[in-house]
Structure 1
Amino acid sequence: MNGMANTNTENNECGLLPYPIILAANKGEPEAMKIVVQHYGSYVASLSMRKLRDERGNTYWGIDEDVRDRLRSKLMQSVLAFKV
């Protein structure tokens, strides 16, 4: 996987991931999967936003960690199940 970690996906979040990274992630390559999860990180976070309450009963918007973990898991499952 040489060079994949250096692929600049942070500034290309709205764009597509390079095909070699998708192929490597599909084959279970951990570093490639990490790049895929990072690429969609802010989108997953935005889908995970919920109204939460603190210990004093104040309501605020925050990330529901259970939802974020489930979405990340589903993303990884989908990448592994993708028919190339």
Structure 2
Amino acid sequence: MNKNKSIHKGNGLLPFPVIVSASLGDPLAMDIVLSHYEPYIARLSMRTVYDDYGNPHTRVDDDMRRRLETKLIEKVLDFKVA
């Protein structure tokens, strides 16, 4: 998680060169993009499950997390930088 803090200059935005590189298919840049959005994707993927005794537990739905990551990768690769 410290990787995110070293990339950002305090404004919470991805640097433009990283976006351009990721859209061109650079795997390292794509990893930076995925790391940047990891907390948001995890939050969107939270699901409540119930144990054998009926107690609710909130956890990350791994299938949903992978779907969201895949969709993000697709959209980044489709992104056109003019």
Q: TM-score scaled by structure 2?
A: 0.82
Aligned to 1:36: 33
Q: Which runs of 5+ in 1 are unaligned?
A: none
Report the Cα offset of residue 54 of structure 1: 3.2
1:54 aligns with 2:55: no
Runs of 4+ more than 2 Å apart = 9-12, 53-58
Q: Which runs of 5+ in 2 are unaligned?
A: none
Aligned to 2:6: 8
Report the Cα offset of residue 16 of structure 1: 1.1
Task: Considering fraction of residues, name the structure with more helix.
Answer: 2
Q: TM-score scaled by structure 1?
A: 0.80
Q: Is the 8 A contact 2:30 2:73 kept in 1?
A: yes
- The RMSD of aligned alpha carbons is 2.2
